[in-house]
Amino acid sequence: MTPGSSPAVRRLDEWDADRLERLADAHDTPLYVMDHDRIRENVARFTGAFDFAHVMYAAKANTGRAVIRAVHEAGLDVECAAAGELHRALEAGVAPQDLQYTAVNPPDRDLDYAVDLWESTPELTVTAGAPMTLDRLEARGFDGRLAIRVNPGIGTGHHEKVATGKDAKFGVPYDRVEEVVADARERFDLVGLHAHVGSGVLADDLADHRRALERVAAVAERVGDLEFVDLGGGFGVPYRPDEDPLDLEAVAAMVADVTADVDATVALEPGRYLVADAGVLLTRVNTIKETAGARVVGVDASLSTMIRPAMFDAYHHVHNVTGAEREPVAASVGGPLCTSADVFCTDRPIPRPEAGDLLAIGNVGAYGIDLASQFHSQPRPAEVAIDGDDARLTRRRETFADLTRLEDEAPGLE
């Protein structure tokens, strides 16, 4: 695909309504639908804009095997923030040398897994965000490719909970990086620096994004002799219908300008940007309740299906697939869980929902199914991948038996 030949954002009402109805009929709801053609379009657009950078996929956005495989086959290496993500990437067919492990307070079992993988694949790069992690790696015999995560002291993004660039949990303070790098060079093959400013960065966040990257670039220049400087991801997508997409060409120009004097490869880790608008969540209306204050619309999806509205107060557009031509009414859409947090929207204009209607919730391809849980003993949903005219089930729906399977297999259960 020619870079720039696909639109920079896919709006929810652009999905094929008839196809979504067929998928819901065939696979029941709630149902995640991932469009792999759209993933490839997003990869082509991003790599076309950042043609000077080494682009990796931040797997935490969506670790589904089919999604990881689609992104990797489109040409990207994979960045993993946990050992479980390394395992998932390997299961998806990614070669170990195409992986990067970015540890955050890694449990012992995670470090054991990563070091075992490195022993068979010395090309694996491990990123450390604390001096003690260096000691823990050395104690396991690791002396391979290492990057140091920098905390620039500036964070940005769509919510305080994702502004990692100013959270002390993440990385070495930028004014201490040089001493940690000096120590690391005595013990490992120090190949890079890493930083991540935040998640969901859009136009209003770019000034802070630039200031944070300037700090990382300045540290990289002082440290010198690096193979790469990894500036993370965080590239946002518009969740609201009236929001403009990120001007990717302008962001690329900014990154190129900030890193012009850095004598190292620039690496980037988009996640959300590649997969968010490639996913929708389908859910059926089961209950309509008229009250003095609102038209309450009950659906079979819940916060255990998709938690972002409850966790981040995140906006996700809701579209009535079945009744798109009806007059809008103010509706509050919520699931079956016994908590007031189990809502997808409140008093939002939606073409009048009726029992049996199919609703679509947009931009769920990132941090949607990966944050699904069994809270309230809700079986996790199924997932379908569409690829051209093909549609295939890539994750089966959990059953009630799955809810108790691990307990059934536990030897101590009577």
Q: Active-site residues: which are they? A: 338
- CA–CA separation, 30 vs 383, rounded Å? 9
> Two tokens at 364?
């769920």
Closest to 177 measured CA to CA, from 126, 134, 145, 206: 134
- Phi, psi of 355, deg, nearest 5: -55, 135
User: Using CA atoms, how far apart are residues 98 and 348, in angstroms rounded to an integer?
Assistant: 44
Angle at 53 between CA 49 and CA 57, to 5 degrees: 85
The total of other beta-carbon atoms located within 10 Å of residue 12's CB is 18
Residues 6+ apart with CB under 8 A from 133: 103, 106, 111
Distance CA 239, CA 355 (A): 26
In sequence order, which residues have a C-beta less than 8 Å from that of residue 125 and are 6 or more positions away?
100, 101, 144, 145, 146, 147, 191, 192
DSSP class per residue in 56-116: EEEGGG---HHHHHHHHHTT-EEEESSHHHHHHHHHTT--GGGEEEE-SS--HHHHHHHHH
> Distance (Å, rounded) from C-alpha 142 to C-alpha 126?
10
**Coil, strand or helix: which one is 318?**
strand
Residue with tokens 């089919």: 66
* Rounded CA separation 357/5 (Å): 34
**Contact, 269 vs 305, CB < 8 A?**
no
Q: Which residues pair with 297 in a beta bridge?
A: 288, 333
Amino acid found at 117: L
Joined tokens for residue 2 = 């020619």
